[in-house]
Structure 1
């Protein structure tokens, strides 16, 4: 059974962060361990969230306990999301290094880079901000994610604002977006890209680039980026190539938003609408870039 380590937010009443990633991965047959960076009652977008940040020492202590249990050698996926202070980011970076070392020791050799059960896959969701508001984490956190986590990533999943921030490049057209994504020097899944009056999600690496577009979804609940990242990671770990994984992940996420709108739900109905994720309500095809 595949195993994932999630280092992200826990929000009791909102389907975001680790609370969105874990159910998606679990439904795909991937067990998960969530180390929370914050404990909130609700998404800050609804008002005062309650709760607060998890002290970096507690984050480190939880990671140490997971390692002491001997679980690092069995981790197939590390997925990071929201961080509340730079020390948490450094703890996550050290954990990634330790997971990779444990898997190498378990295998007895450093295997070639590929998504298989013989090595962990590191997915960095750089939760920094969004247009038009800009950063919603402190600049030292954003810089720590850029400097500590991006160099360790096997996949980076920024939105358009985050892509521009991380690369320092203006995003004026599709070509500039593709060049910026490739400047990250690792595979990237980029969301919230404008494309012919629609919304695009782009995957690119050194060999290929694909984009899926869909109509803008009215009143999309929070957490769609978390769901999309987890759906794509689950599809890739399940053996799908980037193009079909992209198509499936976007279709599943759009279907979930459609059902939320039909139900009048302000949160993503991840569990209630698991059938819509397994058998999406829409079929989307990626175009080559």
Structure 2
């Protein structure tokens, strides 16, 4: 899903899959299997041989099926940082190369859906390399070891990571929100809970935020537009009775959402 969102914004992608599944695991037995870390490393080696790692502006990680895959991803991040020309971050531009870690490991109320070794590897080997971390509320609590009981505790936990953080699935006044925290700056966008929410909204949200920032939007604007776009896709999925987000049919919603949302300063 992330690749589709980035492509829709004119961003060319190089995909290194960690699993080959027939469907989203949240819908039931997915079929397929995890990709061996040796194969992942071989794919990265092929990309490097093509010279593409030296032209990489963004690394966006997602789901990992094993700790060995995490270690391979960490090594790839180091290779990108070594070869790609460095660019300073500004209000309208993230750093180049930009390392975005989506620590896919679990959700409430089910808890972890990866092994503890995978969760620990993400925390210990990818978080220290991140320019932006994009957890949901459960993952933020797990990564920081903190009990998140209200917005204030979530804000403190996000700042404890000591890097920009995009946190999704935050409860607020009966609504649900997404928060962006960077240093002393913090914004939250809230919206009504949708009747049903297809799987993959976190992937789409993170990729939409990243695409907006790479397109020149500041963090607040990127937060507003990415949340509005994700909610719009969920609304359209519910209208169509889709179990998944209709990214191919309704990619235009990424740029022209059905709704507009305003961020609140925290």
Task: Please tell me the TM-score bracket, short chain as reference.
Answer: over 0.9
Q: How does 1:34-113 map to 2 (within 5 A)?
A: 34-103=15-84, 107=85, 110-113=86-89
SS at match of 2:249: coil
Q: How does 1:192-271 map to 2 (within 5 A)?
A: 192-271=169-248
SS at match of 1:271: coil
Q: Over aligned residues, Cα RMSD in angstroms?
A: 1.3
Which whole-Å CA distance do the structure 1 matches of 2:202 and 2:28 have between them?
20
Which whole-Å CA distance do the structure 1 matches of 2:233 and 2:87 have between them?
37
* Preserved CA contact (<8 Å) 2:189 2:224: yes
Which whole-Å CA distance do the structure 2 matches of 1:207 and 1:120 have between them?
23
Which whole-Å CA distance do the structure 2 matches of 1:183 and 1:117 have between them?
20
Structure 1 stretches of at least 4 aligned residues deviating more than 4 Å after TM superposition: 113-118
Q: Does 1:131 align with 2:112?
A: no
* Preserved CA contact (<8 Å) 2:87 2:97: no
In structure 1, runs of 5+ residues without a counterpart are 1-19
Which whole-Å CA distance do the structure 2 matches of 1:254 and 1:133 have between them?
23
* Preserved CA contact (<8 Å) 2:62 2:104: yes
Which whole-Å CA distance do the structure 1 matches of 2:34 and 2:252 have between them?
34
Deviation (angstroms), 1:168: 0.4
Deviation (angstroms), 1:116: 4.8
Deviation (angstroms), 1:48: 1.2
Of residues 119, 137, 141 in structure 2, which corresponds to 1:142?
119
Compared CA separation, residues 33 and 39, structure 1 to 2 (3 A): same
**Given the two structures, how large is their TM-score scaled by the length of structure 1?**
0.89
Q: Deviations over 1:79-128 (max 9, x none)?
A: 0000010011011001001001101xxx4xx5434575982100000001
Q: Does 1:272 align with 2:253?
A: no
User: 1:27 aligns to what?
Assistant: 8
Which whole-Å CA distance do the structure 2 matches of 1:257 and 1:271 have between them?
13
SS at match of 1:201: strand
Compared CA separation, residues 118 and 245, structure 1 to 2 (3 A): closer
Q: How many pairs are equivalent?
A: 265
Which whole-Å CA distance do the structure 1 matches of 2:20 and 2:14 have between them?
15
SS at match of 2:104: coil
* Preserved CA contact (<8 Å) 1:76 1:117: no
Compared CA separation, residues 283 and 118, structure 1 to 2 (3 A): closer
Q: Deviations over 1:172-205 (max 9, x none)?
A: 1111000000101110000000000000100001
